[in-house]
Structures are given as structure tokens and as C-alpha cells.
Amino acid sequence: MGVLNVTPDSFSDGGEHNEPKEAIAFASKLLAEGADIIDVGGESTRPGAVEVAGREELRRTLPVIRELARKGVCVSIDTRHAQVAAACIEAGASAINDVSGFRDPAMVDVACSCDAGLVVMHMKGDPRSMQQAASYDNVVAEVPSYLRRQALLLEHEGISHSRICIDPGPGFGKKAEHSLALLKATDKLASLGWPLMVATSRKGFVGQATGVRCARERVAGSVASALYAVEHGATVVRVHDVAATVQALRMLQAIQRA
């Protein structure tokens, strides 16, 4: 899954793909590098980010999603707002990547009204305040419990098990030690029974672990975290640096086949 932020303020690439023409060209580059899914986000959810109005989020995302879907690209909409998700599914998006984990009943309604794939992520609080809520008695117990509960809630509403993917949300209401503990517990998360997404790319905890302050320079650390997760059961990797990640995954597969 290649990351395409059409925002002015995302933590590592804000402002780079603001115009639809630029965004579509960048999506084409990610696909050429080996991406299978393009994850389009119109609202930054970095720590401290202020909520974006739905109309503005749609202005940023809809033209890109329509054009990519017209070209037959598998697109996910990265949003926590039901009205945005509904409009983007109508425009051709194939999946909803909800960083708020389908806590909003309106988002559950959208999920029930379509056949899109669904990514259930764990986030404590909301982007503006989440790092102030980064406290756990046992993060490796609490996050899987939450993901299981939310996934089962969707299934209880009639959504097929096969449509659901889970994401522990590293960096979302979590200190570096929490994100590292969850990454180390990938096998436990994968054993919950739903496809597991690893979304560690360029995040702050990668920088803290490696000593790399600049987000766009955290390629090697991000790739290493993706490889670890895949080897321990993750099935989807959400990344900024598609070419580097694809090369590393191909090498891992070659070793496993040898």
C-alpha cells in the first residue's frame, strides 16, 4: 500500500502532492515501483493535527480518487469521517482506512452500505490530543483486545470477515516504547484472525529508535520494521518508500524460497 497524502501538512510529505495532476503522477510512480493499493489521505493525522472540514477533505481527495479508479487502480480512502468515506466509495474507492477504528456509528453505516475493504486501526483519543492520552497498563493486551472488539462489531453488523483488516496504529496515541512493543508482538496481532497491516513508515518511533530526525530519511529503519512485521505474520505494508520496501520484500521471499 503506497501512501499518497494530498495535504499541506502531513508529517513527512505535506504539500508535495496538493494538486490532482501532481497526486495522480505520484500515484503512477508508486504503482510502477510495485504498489498494489494507493492510500489517499486528505487530512493529516499527525500528532497535534487539527481536524479538517469534510468539504475541504473531499475537495482534496475526490478528483484524485475518481481518476485513479477510472484507470482501474485499487484505491483506499484514509479518513475518519463518514461523509468523506461514503463519497469516496461512490467515486470508486475500494477500501476505507479508518484511523479511528470505526468508532463512529455513521462510519459503520457506510461500511454496511458497501462492499469495500475496511481497515480497523487503533488510536487512543484523536490526532489533536492522542499523544497526551498515551498511557497503558499493558499495551500488548489492550490494543489487540480493542481491535478484536471493533472487528467483531463490524461482523455483528453483517460485514464479511474477509473484508476486514486490522492495524495496531503505531504512533497514534502511543509513545515510542508502546509502538516498539506492538511491533515486537506482531505474531500475537496476526493470530487474532484478520489480515494485519503494518504502518510504521517514517514514523517518529522509527526516528527515535534509529537516531534519524528527518522523517524522509527514515527509509532503512522503516523497511526493517516492515520486514520484521511481514516475517511475523503481517500481510499488508503501508509505506511511503515503495521501491525500497518492494526490493527488500522480494529479497526476503527469495531467501524463504531458497
DSSP three-state, residue 167: strand
- Rounded Cα–Cα distance for residues 238 and 37 (Å): 9
User: Residues near 28 by Cβ (< 8 Å), separated by ≥ 6?
Assistant: none
- Rounded Cα–Cα distance for residues 122 and 79 (Å): 13
CB 33 within 8 A of CB 242: yes
What are the φ/ψ torsions at residue 198 (nearest 5 degrees)?
A: -105, 125
Out of 46, 203, 216, 218, which one is annotated catalytic? Answer: 203
**Angle between helices 219-231 and 176-184 in degrees, nearest 10:** 40
DSSP three-state, residue 203: coil
Catalytic site includes residue 238: yes
Q: Which helix or strand (DSSP H or E) is residue 121 part of? A: strand 117-121
Catalytic site includes residue 175: no
Tell me which amino acid residue 102 is.
F
Q: Which helix or strand (DSSP H or E) is residue 35 part of? A: none
**Distance of CA 44 to CAs 91, 93, 185, Å?**
21, 19, 27
Q: Which cell is 120 given?
A: 480497523
Out of 188, 238, 250, 257, which one is annotated catalytic? Answer: 238
User: Residues near 228 by Cβ (< 8 Å), separated by ≥ 6?
Assistant: 183, 186
- Rounded Cα–Cα distance for residues 189 and 144 (Å): 6
Q: Which cell is 91 given?
A: 467515486
Which residues participate in catalysis according to the annotation?
A: 203, 238
